[in-house]
């Protein structure tokens, strides 16, 4: 077994070198990267959101602008966020590009010697032009949103010896296998009082599972090197199994819808999502003004109309991908339903009606975003933080 581990370690090191060299060779020969300094006046949350939304939608130039501004604001945070974006939104769509991000992001000295900003922009570009795949993220979302999963995890925690067998059990539901490997990889969860460590990492066991289940070296590399991304690397392994078993892998294009957007404050409107301060303010204004949508949320049984709205905005607008290989549509649909069920919206027809209405009302949402942005700029100028 030790000899087997040595073999995979050698392969991983070789891939690491190849991926880094490939990324270096793709660095764009541009001298105007610093000309987007005007975006650096935004806070890093808006910039990070803008970067992710532009990568999802394949907006390469705007992704570059956001990338430069975010890197200038906080370079280390920019790399950490890019690791998450790569696994959350690109996944198996371009595992070579994702693996390259995993390979270079932790090599601070190498990045600085070659050109940290240039490497970051090259990485962002490779993700923006890639085919997208959110299946790994959908698996994690379903697990995080479903009471059945919480109950099963409690049972798993009492029998550590079962974790590896469950992860390898081809007859078990995929989400159970994800949870078992999460525990083997070491799992820390958020609680109301902070964070709680549920299990410590068992790297040899994780390696055994990866060796047993994955035949693609790039996928194995990305799973093993993709630590610190809220288990997205673990879910990627099982997305790979779903993809390998899929009868159909249709390529779905949303390019026209992905590019038809309003701009606010120099970035695309979806950048102002519920994870930014300005986006939160805009959602509150929008919900207050849109009586029709508010009524529909109440009729659908929403226990928290504001959170339900935030989830719907993601499903309708923020999570739009320009091109996606749609090999696991049921996983995506189940994840969306599970998230909305957390806030009381359980009827499929009601969910569909809400999404349709929200899509029609996006111009109203963008007006609220514009107003929230103007208020934010005014406040920052008064405080001296925005010039």
pTM of the model: 0.93
Q: Is the pLDDT of residue 365 over 80?
A: yes
Does residue 188 sit in helix, strand or coil? strand
What is the residue-averaged pLDDT of the chain?
A: 92
The residues facing 191 across adjacent strands are: 194
Specify burial of residue 128 (Cβ count, 10 A radius: 0-12, 13-18, 19+).
buried
- Give, in degrees to the nearest 5, the angle at Cα 141 between 138 and 146: 125
Q: Please measure the distance between the N-terminal and C-terminal CA atoms of the chain and give it in whole angstroms.
A: 61
Read off φ and ψ for residue 152, nearest 5 degrees: -65, -40
Alpha-carbon dihedral angle through residues 70, 73, 74, 80, given to the nearest 10 degrees: -10
Beta 263-264 vs 267-268: how paired, if at all?
antiparallel
> What pLDDT, on the 0 to 100 scale, is given for residue 221?
95
Cβ count within 10 A of residue 333: 14
- CA pair distance 202, 192, nearest whole angstrom: 27
For 197, the token pair is: 């460590």
| pLDDT digit string, tens, across residues 93-104 | 999 999 999 999
DSSP-derived secondary structure letter, 290? -
> What pLDDT, on the 0 to 100 scale, is given for residue 2?
45
Q: Are 335 and 141 in contact (CB under 8 A)?
A: yes
pLDDT band for position 280 (cuts 50, 70, 90): very high
Selection from 116, 92, 87, 94 nearest residue 104 by Cα: 116
DSSP-derived secondary structure letter, 132? B
For 282, the token pair is: 């805009």
pLDDT band for position 193 (cuts 50, 70, 90): confident
pLDDT band for position 8 (cuts 50, 70, 90): low
Specify burial of residue 326 (Cβ count, 10 A radius: 0-12, 13-18, 19+).
middle
Does residue 323 sit in helix, strand or coil? strand
């Amino acid at each position: 077994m030790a000899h087997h581990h040595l073999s995979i370690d050698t392969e991983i090191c070789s891939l690491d070198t190849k991926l880094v060299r490939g990324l270096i060779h793709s660095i764009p020969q541009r001298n105007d990267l610093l000309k987007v300094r005007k975006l650096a006046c935004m806070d890093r949350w808006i910039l990070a959101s803008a970067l992710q939304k532009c990568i999802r939608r394949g907006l390469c130039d705007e992704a570059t602008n956001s990338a430069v501004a975010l890197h200038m604001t906080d370079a280390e945070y920019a790399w950490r966020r890019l690791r998450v974006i790569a696994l959350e939104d690109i996944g198996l769509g371009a595992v070579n590009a994702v693996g390259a991000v995993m390979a270079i992001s932790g090599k601070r000295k190498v990045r600085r010697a070659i050109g940290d900003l240039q490497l970051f922009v090259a990485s962002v570009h490779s993700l923006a032009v890639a085919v997208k795949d959110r299946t790994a993220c959908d698996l994690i979302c379903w697990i995080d949103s479903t009471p059945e999963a919480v109950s099963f995890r409690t049972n798993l925690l009492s029998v550590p010896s079962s974790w590896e067998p469950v992860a390898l059990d081809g007859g078990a539901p995929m989400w159970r296998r994800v949870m078992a490997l999460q525990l083997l990889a070491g799992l820390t969860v958020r609680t109301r009082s902070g964070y709680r460590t549920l299990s410590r990492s068992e790297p040899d066991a994780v390696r055994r599972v990866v060796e047993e289940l994955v035949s693609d070296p790039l996928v194995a590399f990305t799973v093993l090197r993709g630590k610190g991304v809220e288990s997205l690397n673990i879910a990627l392994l099982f997305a790979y199994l779903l993809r390998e078993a899929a009868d159909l892998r249709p390529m779905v294009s949303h390019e026209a819808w992905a590019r038809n957007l309003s701009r606010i404050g120099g970035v695309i409107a979806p950048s102002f999502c519920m994870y930014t301060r300005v986006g939160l303010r805009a959602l509150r204004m929008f919900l207050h003004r849109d009586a029709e949508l508010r009524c529909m949320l109440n009729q659908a049984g929403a226990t928290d109309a504001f959170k339900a709205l935030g989830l719907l905005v993601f499903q309708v607008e923020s999570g739009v991908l320009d091109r996606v290989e749609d090999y696991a549509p049921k996983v995506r649909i189940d994840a969306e339903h599970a998230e909305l069920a957390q806030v009381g919206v359980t009827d499929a027809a009601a969910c569909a009606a809400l999404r349709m209405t929200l899509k029609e009302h996006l111009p109203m949402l963008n007006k609220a975003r514009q107003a929230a942005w103007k208020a934010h700029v005014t406040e920052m100028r008064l405080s001296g933080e925005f010039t």
